[in-house]
Structure 1
C-alpha cells in the first residue's frame, strides 16, 4: 500500500513553499510520501520527502494556520504530495495532504499474520481466478502493508466488530479497498479470519478509531500446504527409507520399467538407411543398408505388438550407452530436446530381399519427413516422457513440493492434519435432475464426501451401482459451487482407459455443455471429444421441436411475402400490378410491420400509382393511417418536447404522399 492510498485519519490540506528560497532544491513527484517535522530548538518546520528534508512555511495565511495547528496538536501523521506547481521546471510550491491519528503503536520484533485455506479461497473468489497461497500473501501485502520511509513497515488497525467478550482478542486491519479481521489462535498465533470490502460506517457509534502500528508486519502461509511442508519432508525422508514404503516401491518400479523399456529397444538396436521415399498410400519406405540386420529386425518387429519406429539422424544415447548410464534420467536431456519434432510411425511391412521397411506415420505427424540418411530404431519418446513425468511426480511428492504436501504421508498411511473449510451440501436441483429419481443414500454420501474431502476421496462400487451417474452429478455440483469464478478447465475427468473416460463424459453435461476430451486412441484420427456429437443432437432436437409445433401466423405471412417477392422477380409486372402487389403485402403484413416500414410501402405504392396516372383516393386503410398520425400529434409543451416534432413530420409526410398538402398548407 502507498501513502496516498490510505483513506484513514483526519485529513488536512496545506500549501507549502520553501522558507529560505524561491524554489524547492529537490525533485518532488506527485503522490510521494511526505513527512512534516517540527524543531523545538529552532522553531523550523521541515518537510521530508524521501531522504531529503527542507525548511518550509505556509504559502499563505491559511497555510500558516494549518501548519501551526499541526505543530500544536503534534499527533502521529502520515502525509503525501497532492500537487506540484509548476508541473515542469523548478518547483515553487507544494500541496500536501496530512492524515492525523489519535495515537500510534509500535510492535517490536517480527509480527507474522497467518493466512489459511479459507482466506485463500475467499480471495480467489473475489479475484475470479485461481492463484497460489504465495500470490495471495503478495496480494494482501500490497493492500495492507505500508512500507515506511524509515525502517520497517506500517499497518492500520482498529477494534474488531466482534463482541468485546471474545477471548481471542480480535482486531481489524484496514487496507486499500478491503479490511481483514485478525484474531489469536489457541496456540497464540495471529490468523486472518475474514476479508470484507471497505466501507464507511454510517453512524459515529459504529466507527472505531483507526490507528497506525509501526513494526515489521508480514503475512505468512498458514495453509496445511505451507505449515506442513517442512514437517512433511522430514517425516517422508524417514518413511521412504523403510522397506515397505509406497514411495520407495514406486521409485524401484520406475527403475525396473525404465530398464525394461531400454532393454526392449536395445534388442532391435538401430538400422541405418540410405534412402526414404513416401508411397502413394502415405507410408514411408526406408532402404536399409545392412542386409544382415534386416532379417533379424523383421522377425522381431513381426512378433511384437504395436511397435512404433522413430527416424533420426543418429541413434539415441540410451542405445549407445550402458544400461546403468541410460537408467539415469539426466542422460536423456539431449534426446528430449530432439524428440518433439521426431518422425514416428507404425511398422506396417517390409522384405529382406528388397532390403526395405515400411512405416506409416502417426496421425498428427504425417506432415513430418525423416532425415536422409539416418537410422531407424524402436521409438522411446512416449515411454521416456511418461517415465520422466512419473519420476517428477514421485520426487515432488517425496519432497512435499506438490500443491498437496500431505499427499506423501497419505500414501504412506500416516495421519495428517485437515484444512479448515466450509461444508458443502451434496444435493441441489441440478443434482436431483441428473439422477432422475431420488438418489440412494450411498450416492448422496459419495457426493458429500467428495465435495468436503480435505484431500482425496475414493469412491468404490461394483458394476451397476450408479458410479457413472454419481460422477456426472458431482461434476455438475462442482460447477455450481464454482459458478462465481472461472469455470473453464476446473475439473479434470481422467482414466487409464479411453473407453472409461468417453463413457463418463458422454453422460456428463455442465450447464448444458459437454465435456471436451483430450487425447485419442491409438490409430484414431478423430478427436473424439463428443462436442460434434452433442452439436448434432441439439440441432436434431431443435428441428424436431419446430416440426411438432403448428405454423405460427408470422411464419405464414413471411412465407407468403417471400412467394410474392419471388413471383415479382420472375415476371415483369407493370406499375398497376406492382402497386396492387404492394397493397396486398400491406394488408397481410400490417400487424407485424413498424410504422416506418408501412410508410415506405405506402410511398412505393403512391409512386407506382402515379406512373399509370391514377390519383389515389383516401381508402379506408389510408384514412386510418392518417387518423392515427393526426391523433399522435402533441399539443402539450412537455409531451411535445418528447416526440412532438417527429410525429408532426410524420403527418406532413403522409399528407404529401396523398397530394393533400400544398405550399400554402405548410
Structure 2
C-alpha cells in the first residue's frame, strides 16, 4: 500500500527547513512534534536525523498545531520537493494512540476468496491471493508495518447495508473491522483446540471513497492463512495432533520411540563393522573387484563372514557416529538432514558385497572399479538415511495436517476427534460392466458391501477376512470402479492407486488379476537375492504387450501390412540409390516380388520375378567383375508412388 492509499484524511502542508541544511528529499517521517520555544516551527524525525521546518502558509501552522495538540497517532512523509527549497509534508491522523498487536493471523474462507477474485482478478489464488490481501491491508514505513482498524459503533454502519452479505456473519461475535486500499472486512475470533484462537474475515466489501472515521492505527502485520473448509480441517487437525502427541499413549509418540530403538540398532550394526582398511584392488571380468582387508575388527570379520553386511561405502574419513560411540540416534537424526544434504553434493560411492573369503581376507564387491586401489570402507547407511528422511517428512506432514488426508493423524490417534466434512455424492458399488468383468458368479452381500464402503469412505476403509473369501476379487472390483468413474465423470478424478503388499507374490497375484484399459501394470521393488528388479521385468512385459497389440491391430487392419511393406521398399530403394550393392538389390527385388499380382499387376509382377532370377544367376559373375544389375531400371516406381 502506498501512502496516498491510506484510508484516512491526509493533511498536505508545504514546509521549508528553518536551518541551513541540504535540500530535503522524498522520504518517510517517523514523528511530527511542535518545536518548543519556537512558534510556528515543527520537529520532524527522519531516518538518520532530525530537522526543523516551518509551514509556508500561516494558516497551515494553525491547522497542524490543532491536530498535533490532540495527541493522536499519525503517519507522515515528505514528498514533491520544489526548486525554492520547500517540500510537501503529508500527515495522516488517526483516532487515539497507536496500538501494538504484533503478527495477527486472519483466516480467509471461500467467501473472501470469491470476493477478491470478483473485485480484482480471477487469477488470485492460494499464496498469491494472501500476498495480495496483505499488500492491500498493510502499510510499511522503514522496518515497521502498520494496518488500520475500525472499532466501536463504526462497525454497525458496516452491517446496515447488504442483507445477503450480512447472512454470512449472522450471530457472530464481531470485534473490529480492518480497512485498507479499496478493501475492508470484518473479523471475528474463532477458537481452535489447544486454547488458541484465530481471527476470521467474515464480511468483505469495497471501501467507500470517503475517509473512514474512528479509525485506529495498529503497529503489526496481518498474516492471511487458509480458512477454507479444507484449510480449517488442516488447522484444527494440526492443533489437535499437537496436543495429543504430548500424551504418553500417543501412537505418534510410540512411533518416535520405535524409530529411536530402530535407529540405535542401526548405529550398533554400523559400529560392529567400523572402518575396514583395504588395499590391493584387483578388477574382475564379471563386473566385480576384489580387495584385501588389512585392518578390521574381529566383529567386522564375523559380520562379513555371516553375510550381515549387504553394502559398503567408500569414505575419506570416519563419520561422527563411528568416532563417538556415545552419539545417540536422536543426535544423529537431528543432524541427518544437514549431513545428508552435504553428502548429496559429493559423490557417494557405495557397493554391494558379493562375497568374503575369511581365510585370505579377500572381499569381493559388485562394481567395475574403485576410485583408488586402497582406502577405507564402512557399512553404507545411504538407504537407511533415505528411509529415515522419508519417515521424518511423513511425520512432519501428519503433524502439520499436510498429508493427502489432513486428518490422518487424528485417525491414527485413539483420542482423535474427526471433523465432519460434507460427504460427496454416494457412489454405486457395482455396475453391470464391472460385475460381469470381475465376478464369475454373483458377488456375496459382504463383498458388495465392502466395495461400497471403500468407494464412499471419507478417509480409510479396512477390509478384513480369512483366506478364500474373495478379498483379491474385491480389490480388483474397486480398482475397476475407480477407473470407470475416472472415465465417465465430468470432473476428472485426480490421483493414482498404489497397491502394496507384505510379500512380492501377493502384489504379483493382484497384478495378474487386473486388466485396466488393457494396459500392463508396473511393479516396483526387488526380491531378496534377485539380480533384476521388478521394474525391469515390467519393461520386458511391456515390450511383449506392445508386440501383442501390434499383432492384433495388423489382423484387424490388413492394410497396415501393405503400408509397412511399401515403407520398407522405399527405404531399401533410397539405400540402394545412395550405395548400390548386390545384397540391397536382392532384398529390394524380394520385397517387391512379395507384393504380389494384386498390387503390382500381372506385367510388373512377372518383371519382378524375372529380375529376381537374373540377380540370382548373375550373382557369381557380378562378384568377380564388380558389376551389378541396376534394379532401378527394371521397376516401375511410378506405379508404387501412385498407390500412396
Aligning the two structures, in what range does the TM-score lie when normalised by the shorter sequence? Answer: 0.5 to 0.7
Q: Secondary structure at the match of 1:459?
A: coil
- Check conservation: 2:191, 2:197, Cα contact below 8 A: yes
Rate the CA distance shift 1:251–1:191 in 2: closer, same or farther, 3 A. closer
Aligned to 2:566: none
- Check conservation: 2:189, 2:199, Cα contact below 8 A: yes
Aligned to 1:582: none
CA distance in structure 2 between the aligned counterparts of 1:256 and 1:190, rounded to whole angstroms? 39
- Check conservation: 1:38, 1:45, Cα contact below 8 A: yes
- Check conservation: 1:515, 1:529, Cα contact below 8 A: no
- Check conservation: 2:278, 2:291, Cα contact below 8 A: yes
Task: Name stretches of at least 5 consecutive residues in structure 1 with no aligned partner.
Answer: 59-63, 451-456, 552-565, 571-666
- Check conservation: 1:155, 1:213, Cα contact below 8 A: yes
CA apart distance, 1:416:
3.6
Aligned to 2:314: 311
CA distance in structure 2 between the aligned counterparts of 1:154 and 1:57, rounded to whole angstroms? 31
**Which structure 2 residues correspond to residues 250-265 of structure 1 after superposition, within 5 A?**
250-262=255-267
Q: Secondary structure at the match of 1:464?
A: helix
CA distance in structure 2 between the aligned counterparts of 1:313 and 1:138, rounded to whole angstroms? 48
Deviations 1:55-111 (A, max 9, x none): 1225xxxxx88998899999998665453335xxxx7233566678xx846686749
Say if 2:283 is the partner of 1:286.
no
- Check conservation: 2:35, 2:43, Cα contact below 8 A: no
Rate the CA distance shift 1:411–1:107 in 2: closer, same or farther, 3 A. farther
Aligned to 2:479: 468
Aligned to 2:40: 44
CA apart distance, 1:382:
1.8
CA apart distance, 1:273:
1.9
- Check conservation: 1:122, 1:195, Cα contact below 8 A: no
CA apart distance, 1:54:
1.5
- Check conservation: 2:43, 2:53, Cα contact below 8 A: yes
Aligned to 1:382: 383
Which shows bigger deviation, 376-385 or 226-235? 226-235
Aligned to 1:633: none
Aligned to 2:3: 3
Deviations 1:480-531 (A, max 9, x none): 699xxxx9xx989695789869979x9999xxxx999999998668988999
CA apart distance, 1:4:
3.5
CA distance in structure 1 between the aligned counterparts of 2:268 and 2:67, rounded to whole angstroms? 85
Q: Secondary structure at the match of 1:4?
A: helix
Rate the CA distance shift 1:216–1:298 in 2: closer, same or farther, 3 A. closer
CA apart distance, 1:407:
6.3
Aligned to 1:641: none
| Among 171, 179, 189, the residue aligned to 1:174 | 179
Aligned to 1:412: 413
CA distance in structure 1 between the aligned counterparts of 2:42 and 2:328, rounded to whole angstroms? 72
**Which structure 2 residues correspond to residues 48-67 of structure 1 after superposition, within 5 A?**
48=44, 50=46, 52-58=51-57
Aligned to 2:350: 344
Say if 2:124 is the partner of 1:115.
no
| Among 192, 217, 231, the residue aligned to 2:200 | 192
Aligned to 1:357: 363
- Check conservation: 2:186, 2:202, Cα contact below 8 A: yes
CA apart distance, 1:414:
1.0
Q: Secondary structure at the match of 1:84?
A: coil
CA apart distance, 1:283:
2.2
Q: Secondary structure at the match of 2:472?
A: coil
Rate the CA distance shift 1:371–1:411 in 2: closer, same or farther, 3 A. farther
Q: Secondary structure at the match of 1:192?
A: strand
Q: Secondary structure at the match of 1:463?
A: helix
- Check conservation: 2:40, 2:61, Cα contact below 8 A: no
Rate the CA distance shift 1:415–1:386 in 2: closer, same or farther, 3 A. closer
CA apart distance, 1:300:
1.9
- Check conservation: 2:31, 2:45, Cα contact below 8 A: yes
CA distance in structure 2 between the aligned counterparts of 1:479 and 1:275, rounded to whole angstroms? 67
Rate the CA distance shift 1:494–1:463 in 2: closer, same or farther, 3 A. closer
**Which structure 2 residues correspond to residues 519-598 of structure 1 after superposition, within 5 A?**
none
Q: Secondary structure at the match of 1:253?
A: helix
**Which structure 2 residues correspond to residues 154-303 of structure 1 after superposition, within 5 A?**
154-157=147-150, 159-160=158-159, 163=163, 166-168=170-172, 170=174, 172-176=177-181, 178-183=183-188, 191-194=199-202, 199=206, 209=212, 212-216=215-219, 219=222, 233=242, 235-237=244-246, 239-240=247-248, 242=249, 245-262=250-267, 271-289=276-294, 299-301=305-307
CA distance in structure 1 between the aligned counterparts of 2:539 and 2:64, rounded to whole angstroms? 70
Deviations 1:331-359 (A, max 9, x none): 99698665864322223346567753321
- Check conservation: 1:312, 1:371, Cα contact below 8 A: no
Rate the CA distance shift 1:279–1:119 in 2: closer, same or farther, 3 A. farther
Rate the CA distance shift 1:285–1:148 in 2: closer, same or farther, 3 A. closer
- Check conservation: 1:81, 1:97, Cα contact below 8 A: yes
CA distance in structure 1 between the aligned counterparts of 2:222 and 2:41, rounded to whole angstroms? 37
Aligned to 1:84: 81
CA distance in structure 2 between the aligned counterparts of 1:269 and 1:78, rounded to whole angstroms? 67
CA apart distance, 1:413:
0.8
Say if 2:450 is the partner of 1:459.
no
- Check conservation: 1:110, 1:217, Cα contact below 8 A: yes
Rate the CA distance shift 1:252–1:182 in 2: closer, same or farther, 3 A. closer
CA distance in structure 2 between the aligned counterparts of 1:338 and 1:441, rounded to whole angstroms? 51
- Check conservation: 2:76, 2:90, Cα contact below 8 A: yes
- Check conservation: 1:426, 1:444, Cα contact below 8 A: no
CA apart distance, 1:373:
1.9
- Check conservation: 1:85, 1:93, Cα contact below 8 A: yes
- Check conservation: 2:305, 2:358, Cα contact below 8 A: no
CA distance in structure 1 between the aligned counterparts of 2:182 and 2:92, rounded to whole angstroms? 17
CA apart distance, 1:258:
3.5
Deviations 1:386-427 (A, max 9, x none): 346546866x599x57758986665331134739x8x47458
CA distance in structure 1 between the aligned counterparts of 2:124 and 2:538, rounded to whole angstroms? 28
Aligned to 1:629: none
- Check conservation: 2:313, 2:351, Cα contact below 8 A: yes
Instruction: Give the length in aligned residue pairs.
Output: 495
CA distance in structure 2 between the aligned counterparts of 1:34 and 1:266, rounded to whole angstroms? 62
